[in-house]
Structure 1
Amino acid sequence: MMRALALLPLGLFMALGASAPATAQTRHNTNAPIDFASDHFEIQDKANRVILTGNVRITQAEMTMTAARTTLTYTGQITDGSPQVSRLDASGGVTVTRPDQSARGQYAVYDINRRVITMVGAVTLRQGPNVINGGRLAINLDTGRATIDGSGVGGSTTPGGVQSQGGRVTGRFSVPKRDEAPASPPSP
Protein backbone atom coordinates (compact mmCIF):
# COMPACT_ATOMS: atom_id res chain seq x y z
CA MET A 1 0.00 0.00 0.00
CA MET A 2 1.38 3.39 -0.97
CA ARG A 3 1.37 6.14 1.64
CA ALA A 4 1.53 9.80 0.68
CA LEU A 5 2.15 13.05 2.49
CA ALA A 6 1.15 16.39 1.01
CA LEU A 7 2.59 19.65 2.29
CA LEU A 8 0.47 22.74 1.74
CA PRO A 9 2.38 25.22 1.15
CA LEU A 10 5.99 24.42 1.89
CA GLY A 11 6.03 27.06 4.65
CA LEU A 12 3.91 24.59 6.63
CA PHE A 13 6.83 22.17 6.55
CA MET A 14 8.91 24.71 8.44
CA ALA A 15 6.06 25.66 10.75
CA LEU A 16 5.64 22.11 12.00
CA GLY A 17 8.91 22.09 13.82
CA ALA A 18 11.21 25.01 13.27
CA SER A 19 11.83 27.35 16.16
CA ALA A 20 12.05 30.38 13.86
CA PRO A 21 8.85 31.96 12.54
CA ALA A 22 7.45 30.19 9.48
CA THR A 23 7.88 31.92 6.16
CA ALA A 24 5.87 30.84 3.14
CA GLN A 25 7.78 29.87 0.03
CA THR A 26 7.68 32.52 -2.62
CA ARG A 27 6.31 31.64 -6.01
CA HIS A 28 9.13 30.62 -8.33
CA ASN A 29 9.65 32.76 -11.43
CA THR A 30 9.34 30.06 -14.11
CA ASN A 31 9.60 32.75 -16.81
CA ALA A 32 13.16 33.65 -15.78
CA PRO A 33 15.92 32.60 -18.16
CA ILE A 34 17.65 29.27 -17.54
CA ASP A 35 21.43 29.50 -17.17
CA PHE A 36 23.67 26.44 -17.27
CA ALA A 37 27.25 25.35 -16.74
CA SER A 38 28.81 21.92 -17.33
CA ASP A 39 32.06 20.20 -18.21
CA HIS A 40 30.72 19.07 -21.59
CA PHE A 41 28.05 20.41 -23.98
CA GLU A 42 26.53 18.49 -26.90
CA ILE A 43 23.78 19.86 -29.12
CA GLN A 44 21.56 17.48 -31.09
CA ASP A 45 19.80 20.06 -33.24
CA LYS A 46 17.68 17.62 -35.31
CA ALA A 47 16.34 16.11 -32.06
CA ASN A 48 15.85 19.57 -30.45
CA ARG A 49 17.93 18.75 -27.40
CA VAL A 50 21.11 19.66 -25.59
CA ILE A 51 23.01 17.18 -23.43
CA LEU A 52 25.07 18.55 -20.55
CA THR A 53 27.44 16.24 -18.68
CA GLY A 54 29.89 16.62 -15.83
CA ASN A 55 29.17 18.87 -12.85
CA VAL A 56 25.97 20.24 -14.40
CA ARG A 57 24.55 23.34 -12.74
CA ILE A 58 21.23 24.79 -13.91
CA THR A 59 19.99 28.08 -12.44
CA GLN A 60 16.62 29.78 -12.87
CA ALA A 61 15.85 32.78 -10.66
CA GLU A 62 16.52 31.63 -7.06
CA MET A 63 16.40 27.90 -7.86
CA THR A 64 19.45 25.77 -8.65
CA MET A 65 19.58 22.18 -9.94
CA THR A 66 22.80 20.18 -9.95
CA ALA A 67 23.36 16.74 -11.50
CA ALA A 68 25.91 14.59 -13.29
CA ARG A 69 23.91 14.71 -16.56
CA THR A 70 21.03 16.83 -17.84
CA THR A 71 19.15 16.78 -21.13
CA LEU A 72 17.41 20.01 -22.14
CA THR A 73 14.61 19.59 -24.66
CA TYR A 74 13.61 22.66 -26.64
CA THR A 75 10.76 23.47 -29.01
CA GLY A 76 12.78 24.76 -31.95
CA GLN A 77 11.33 28.25 -31.55
CA ILE A 78 13.87 31.02 -30.96
CA THR A 79 13.07 33.97 -28.68
CA ASP A 80 15.61 36.73 -28.02
CA GLY A 81 18.28 34.58 -29.70
CA SER A 82 17.72 31.52 -27.47
CA PRO A 83 15.76 28.29 -28.00
CA GLN A 84 12.63 27.82 -25.87
CA VAL A 85 13.37 25.05 -23.36
CA SER A 86 10.35 22.90 -22.49
CA ARG A 87 11.82 20.16 -20.28
CA LEU A 88 14.91 19.23 -18.27
CA ASP A 89 15.75 15.59 -17.48
CA ALA A 90 18.51 15.23 -14.86
CA SER A 91 20.24 12.15 -13.48
CA GLY A 92 23.10 11.28 -11.20
CA GLY A 93 22.80 12.72 -7.71
CA VAL A 94 20.26 15.43 -8.51
CA THR A 95 19.87 18.29 -6.03
CA VAL A 96 17.31 21.09 -6.30
CA THR A 97 17.74 24.04 -3.97
CA ARG A 98 15.42 26.96 -3.34
CA PRO A 99 15.58 29.52 -0.54
CA ASP A 100 15.43 27.65 2.82
CA GLN A 101 14.82 24.28 1.13
CA SER A 102 16.59 21.48 -0.70
CA ALA A 103 15.58 18.20 -2.33
CA ARG A 104 17.80 15.31 -3.41
CA GLY A 105 17.09 12.28 -5.56
CA GLN A 106 18.55 10.03 -8.23
CA TYR A 107 16.52 11.49 -11.12
CA ALA A 108 14.50 14.64 -11.77
CA VAL A 109 12.26 15.99 -14.52
CA TYR A 110 11.45 19.70 -14.68
CA ASP A 111 8.40 20.12 -16.93
CA ILE A 112 8.66 23.82 -17.67
CA ASN A 113 5.25 24.07 -19.36
CA ARG A 114 3.46 22.52 -16.35
CA ARG A 115 5.88 24.24 -13.88
CA VAL A 116 6.38 20.98 -11.98
CA ILE A 117 9.56 19.24 -10.82
CA THR A 118 9.27 15.49 -10.22
CA MET A 119 12.09 13.66 -8.45
CA VAL A 120 12.41 9.89 -7.96
CA GLY A 121 14.82 7.51 -6.30
CA ALA A 122 15.71 7.84 -2.62
CA VAL A 123 14.22 11.34 -2.38
CA THR A 124 14.97 13.56 0.62
CA LEU A 125 13.24 16.91 1.18
CA ARG A 126 14.83 19.23 3.77
CA GLN A 127 13.75 22.53 5.22
CA GLY A 128 15.80 23.67 8.19
CA PRO A 129 16.12 20.74 10.61
CA ASN A 130 13.01 19.00 9.21
CA VAL A 131 13.43 16.10 6.79
CA ILE A 132 11.07 13.83 4.83
CA ASN A 133 12.18 10.77 2.82
CA GLY A 134 10.31 8.88 0.14
CA GLY A 135 10.48 7.43 -3.32
CA ARG A 136 8.87 10.20 -5.38
CA LEU A 137 8.52 13.97 -4.89
CA ALA A 138 6.49 16.41 -7.00
CA ILE A 139 6.87 20.16 -6.49
CA ASN A 140 4.44 22.59 -8.12
CA LEU A 141 6.48 25.77 -8.56
CA ASP A 142 3.38 27.96 -9.02
CA THR A 143 1.64 26.96 -5.79
CA GLY A 144 4.59 25.84 -3.66
CA ARG A 145 2.80 22.55 -2.93
CA ALA A 146 4.99 19.47 -2.58
CA THR A 147 3.76 15.88 -2.49
CA ILE A 148 5.98 13.00 -1.50
CA ASP A 149 5.05 9.34 -1.59
CA GLY A 150 6.65 5.95 -1.21
CA SER A 151 6.62 4.99 -4.89
CA GLY A 152 9.70 5.37 -7.04
CA VAL A 153 13.14 3.85 -7.26
CA GLY A 154 15.06 2.54 -4.25
CA GLY A 155 15.02 3.45 -0.59
CA SER A 156 17.05 5.86 1.49
CA THR A 157 18.61 6.16 4.90
CA THR A 158 19.46 9.43 6.63
CA PRO A 159 22.21 9.93 9.22
CA GLY A 160 19.50 10.17 11.91
CA GLY A 161 18.43 6.61 11.14
CA VAL A 162 15.18 7.53 9.39
CA GLN A 163 14.54 5.07 6.55
CA SER A 164 12.29 4.92 3.51
CA GLN A 165 11.78 1.42 2.21
CA GLY A 166 8.91 -0.67 0.96
CA GLY A 167 6.76 2.19 -0.31
CA ARG A 168 6.65 4.25 2.89
CA VAL A 169 7.25 7.91 3.59
CA THR A 170 9.28 8.66 6.70
CA GLY A 171 10.56 11.79 8.32
CA ARG A 172 11.44 13.77 11.36
CA PHE A 173 10.20 17.17 12.46
CA SER A 174 11.98 19.24 15.04
CA VAL A 175 10.05 20.51 18.04
CA PRO A 176 10.40 24.12 19.22
CA LYS A 177 12.34 24.46 22.46
CA ARG A 178 10.30 25.72 25.40
CA ASP A 179 11.41 27.12 28.67
CA GLU A 180 10.97 24.52 31.36
CA ALA A 181 9.51 25.77 34.64
CA PRO A 182 11.59 24.76 37.66
CA ALA A 183 10.25 21.73 39.47
CA SER A 184 8.02 22.55 42.43
CA PRO A 185 9.23 21.32 45.79
CA PRO A 186 7.22 18.36 47.14
CA SER A 187 4.27 19.21 49.38
CA PRO A 188 4.71 18.42 53.10
Structure 2
Amino acid sequence: MRGHFALLALTLFATAASAQVRHNSNAPIDFNAGTIELQDRANRAILSGGVNVRQANMTLDAQRMTVAYTGQITGGSPQVSRLDASGGVTVTRPDQRAKSQYAVYDLNRRVITMLGGVTLVQGAGNTVNGGRLTIDLDTGRATIDGSSVGTTKAPDGSVIRQGGRVTGRFSVPERSQ
Protein backbone atom coordinates (compact mmCIF):
# COMPACT_ATOMS: atom_id res chain seq x y z
CA MET A 1 0.00 0.00 0.00
CA ARG A 2 2.91 2.35 0.79
CA GLY A 3 4.14 2.11 -2.83
CA HIS A 4 0.66 2.91 -4.10
CA PHE A 5 0.54 6.07 -1.96
CA ALA A 6 3.94 7.20 -3.27
CA LEU A 7 2.76 6.60 -6.84
CA LEU A 8 -0.49 8.50 -6.16
CA ALA A 9 1.39 11.39 -4.58
CA LEU A 10 3.78 11.53 -7.51
CA THR A 11 0.90 11.40 -9.98
CA LEU A 12 -0.78 14.34 -8.20
CA PHE A 13 2.48 16.28 -8.33
CA ALA A 14 3.05 15.39 -11.98
CA THR A 15 -0.49 16.47 -12.81
CA ALA A 16 0.24 19.86 -11.27
CA ALA A 17 3.42 19.99 -13.33
CA SER A 18 1.51 19.13 -16.51
CA ALA A 19 -0.33 22.42 -16.13
CA GLN A 20 2.92 23.93 -17.36
CA VAL A 21 2.82 25.59 -20.75
CA ARG A 22 4.35 23.39 -23.43
CA HIS A 23 8.00 24.34 -23.83
CA ASN A 24 9.15 25.67 -27.20
CA SER A 25 12.17 23.43 -27.78
CA ASN A 26 12.58 24.97 -31.25
CA ALA A 27 13.40 28.39 -29.76
CA PRO A 28 17.01 29.52 -30.06
CA ILE A 29 19.35 28.73 -27.18
CA ASP A 30 21.20 31.70 -25.68
CA PHE A 31 24.12 31.11 -23.33
CA ASN A 32 26.73 32.88 -21.28
CA ALA A 33 29.71 31.39 -19.48
CA GLY A 34 33.12 32.23 -18.11
CA THR A 35 34.88 30.29 -20.90
CA ILE A 36 34.09 28.31 -24.03
CA GLU A 37 36.22 25.68 -25.71
CA LEU A 38 35.16 24.77 -29.25
CA GLN A 39 35.93 21.24 -30.38
CA ASP A 40 34.73 21.39 -34.00
CA ARG A 41 36.07 17.98 -35.02
CA ALA A 42 34.03 16.42 -32.21
CA ASN A 43 31.00 18.68 -32.90
CA ARG A 44 30.89 19.97 -29.35
CA ALA A 45 31.59 22.98 -27.19
CA ILE A 46 32.58 22.96 -23.53
CA LEU A 47 31.17 25.85 -21.49
CA SER A 48 32.44 26.45 -17.96
CA GLY A 49 32.38 29.02 -15.20
CA GLY A 50 28.85 29.88 -14.11
CA VAL A 51 27.08 28.66 -17.25
CA ASN A 52 23.61 30.06 -17.95
CA VAL A 53 21.50 28.76 -20.84
CA ARG A 54 18.10 30.17 -21.77
CA GLN A 55 15.58 28.74 -24.19
CA ALA A 56 12.17 30.40 -24.38
CA ASN A 57 10.86 30.56 -20.77
CA MET A 58 13.30 27.97 -19.37
CA THR A 59 16.79 28.47 -17.93
CA LEU A 60 19.48 25.92 -17.17
CA ASP A 61 22.34 26.90 -14.85
CA ALA A 62 25.44 24.81 -14.06
CA GLN A 63 29.16 25.11 -13.46
CA ARG A 64 30.03 23.16 -16.61
CA MET A 65 28.15 22.17 -19.75
CA THR A 66 29.00 20.15 -22.84
CA VAL A 67 27.02 21.20 -25.90
CA ALA A 68 26.78 18.54 -28.64
CA TYR A 69 25.76 19.76 -32.06
CA THR A 70 25.21 18.31 -35.49
CA GLY A 71 27.26 19.30 -38.51
CA GLN A 72 24.24 21.18 -39.88
CA ILE A 73 24.13 24.97 -39.75
CA THR A 74 20.80 26.81 -39.43
CA GLY A 75 20.68 30.61 -39.49
CA GLY A 76 24.46 30.77 -39.10
CA SER A 77 24.49 28.60 -35.94
CA PRO A 78 25.09 24.86 -35.45
CA GLN A 79 22.04 22.77 -34.55
CA VAL A 80 22.32 21.69 -30.91
CA SER A 81 21.22 18.13 -30.17
CA ARG A 82 22.17 17.67 -26.49
CA LEU A 83 23.33 19.56 -23.40
CA ASP A 84 25.17 17.73 -20.58
CA ALA A 85 25.38 19.82 -17.41
CA SER A 86 27.23 19.22 -14.14
CA GLY A 87 27.89 21.03 -10.90
CA GLY A 88 25.02 22.71 -9.09
CA VAL A 89 22.51 22.21 -11.91
CA THR A 90 19.27 24.21 -11.73
CA VAL A 91 16.43 24.10 -14.26
CA THR A 92 13.88 26.87 -13.89
CA ARG A 93 10.53 26.92 -15.67
CA PRO A 94 7.41 28.97 -14.88
CA ASP A 95 6.26 27.97 -11.37
CA GLN A 96 8.82 25.13 -11.21
CA ARG A 97 12.46 24.82 -10.12
CA ALA A 98 14.56 21.64 -10.09
CA LYS A 99 18.06 21.14 -8.69
CA SER A 100 20.52 18.26 -9.05
CA GLN A 101 24.17 17.34 -9.50
CA TYR A 102 23.87 16.43 -13.20
CA ALA A 103 21.42 16.94 -16.06
CA VAL A 104 21.03 15.93 -19.69
CA TYR A 105 18.79 17.91 -22.03
CA ASP A 106 18.07 15.77 -25.11
CA LEU A 107 16.71 18.28 -27.62
CA ASN A 108 15.71 15.60 -30.13
CA ARG A 109 13.51 13.78 -27.58
CA ARG A 110 12.55 17.05 -25.80
CA VAL A 111 13.38 15.48 -22.43
CA ILE A 112 15.48 16.69 -19.50
CA THR A 113 16.87 14.04 -17.16
CA MET A 114 18.33 15.21 -13.85
CA LEU A 115 20.41 12.95 -11.60
CA GLY A 116 21.83 13.02 -8.09
CA GLY A 117 20.19 14.64 -5.10
CA VAL A 118 17.21 15.92 -7.07
CA THR A 119 14.81 18.45 -5.56
CA LEU A 120 11.73 19.60 -7.50
CA VAL A 121 9.74 22.54 -6.17
CA GLN A 122 6.36 23.36 -7.70
CA GLY A 123 4.57 26.55 -6.76
CA ALA A 124 4.85 27.85 -3.22
CA GLY A 125 5.11 24.65 -1.23
CA ASN A 126 5.04 21.37 -3.16
CA THR A 127 8.46 19.69 -2.91
CA VAL A 128 9.60 16.25 -4.04
CA ASN A 129 13.10 14.81 -3.52
CA GLY A 130 14.62 11.80 -5.24
CA GLY A 131 17.51 10.47 -7.23
CA ARG A 132 16.34 10.95 -10.81
CA LEU A 133 13.88 13.38 -12.40
CA THR A 134 12.63 13.20 -15.98
CA ILE A 135 10.78 16.18 -17.45
CA ASP A 136 8.94 15.69 -20.74
CA LEU A 137 8.93 19.18 -22.25
CA ASP A 138 6.10 18.34 -24.68
CA THR A 139 3.64 17.29 -21.99
CA GLY A 140 5.13 19.07 -18.95
CA ARG A 141 4.97 15.76 -17.07
CA ALA A 142 7.62 15.36 -14.36
CA THR A 143 8.51 11.88 -13.09
CA ILE A 144 10.83 11.41 -10.12
CA ASP A 145 12.13 8.20 -8.63
CA GLY A 146 14.40 7.17 -5.79
CA SER A 147 17.31 6.00 -7.95
CA SER A 148 20.57 6.90 -6.34
CA VAL A 149 23.64 8.02 -8.21
CA GLY A 150 26.97 6.51 -7.28
CA THR A 151 27.77 4.18 -4.44
CA THR A 152 28.17 4.24 -0.69
CA LYS A 153 30.92 2.51 1.30
CA ALA A 154 30.15 0.34 4.31
CA PRO A 155 32.22 0.68 7.53
CA ASP A 156 34.31 -2.33 6.49
CA GLY A 157 35.25 -0.58 3.23
CA SER A 158 33.06 -2.69 0.96
CA VAL A 159 31.00 -0.86 -1.62
CA ILE A 160 27.23 -1.07 -1.34
CA ARG A 161 24.47 0.52 -3.41
CA GLN A 162 22.11 2.79 -1.58
CA GLY A 163 18.47 2.31 -2.52
CA GLY A 164 16.61 5.58 -2.73
CA ARG A 165 13.13 6.68 -1.83
CA VAL A 166 11.05 9.54 -3.08
CA THR A 167 10.17 11.98 -0.32
CA GLY A 168 8.29 15.24 -0.31
CA ARG A 169 5.68 17.58 1.00
CA PHE A 170 2.49 18.84 -0.60
CA SER A 171 0.93 22.11 0.46
CA VAL A 172 -2.71 22.09 1.47
CA PRO A 173 -4.94 25.12 0.97
CA GLU A 174 -6.22 26.75 4.11
CA ARG A 175 -9.83 25.92 4.83
CA SER A 176 -12.22 27.80 7.05
CA GLN A 177 -13.60 25.69 9.88
TM over 0.5, shorter chain: yes
- Who is 2:164 aligned against? 167
Where structure 1 has 5 or more consecutive residues not aligned to the other structure, the ranges are 14-22, 155-164, 181-188
Q: TM-score, normalised by structure 2?
A: 0.85
The structure in which a higher percent of residues are helix is 2
Which of the pair has the greater relative contact order for Cα pairs under 8 Å at 6+ separation? 1
**Is the 1:27–1:141 Cα contact (8 Å) retained in structure 2?**
yes
Q: TM-score, normalised by structure 1?
A: 0.80
- Who is 1:145 aligned against? 141
- Who is 2:40 aligned against? 45
The code of the aligned residue for 1:25 comes to Q
Deviations 1:74-115 (A, max 9, x none): 001001100000000000000000000000000000000000
Task: Give the 3-state SS of the residue equivalent to 1:132 in structure 2.
Answer: strand
Two-structure CA RMSD over aligned residues (Å): 2.0
**Is the 2:131–2:149 Cα contact (8 Å) retained in structure 1?**
yes
How far did 1:11 drift? 5.0
What stretches of structure 1 move > 3 A for 4+ residues in a row? 3-11
Deviations 1:149-187 (A, max 9, x none): 001326xxxxxxxxxx7310000001110112xxxxxxx
The code of the aligned residue for 1:12 comes to A
Highest CA radius of gyration, 1 or 2?
A: 1
How far did 1:32 drift? 0.1
> Which whole-Å CA distance do the structure 2 matches of 1:24 and 1:8 have between them?
11
> Which whole-Å CA distance do the structure 2 matches of 1:166 and 1:84 have between them?
38
- Who is 1:66 aligned against? 61
Where structure 2 has 5 or more consecutive residues not aligned to the other structure, the ranges are 151-161
Deviations 1:117-162 (A, max 9, x none): 00000000001211000000000000111110001326xxxxxxxx
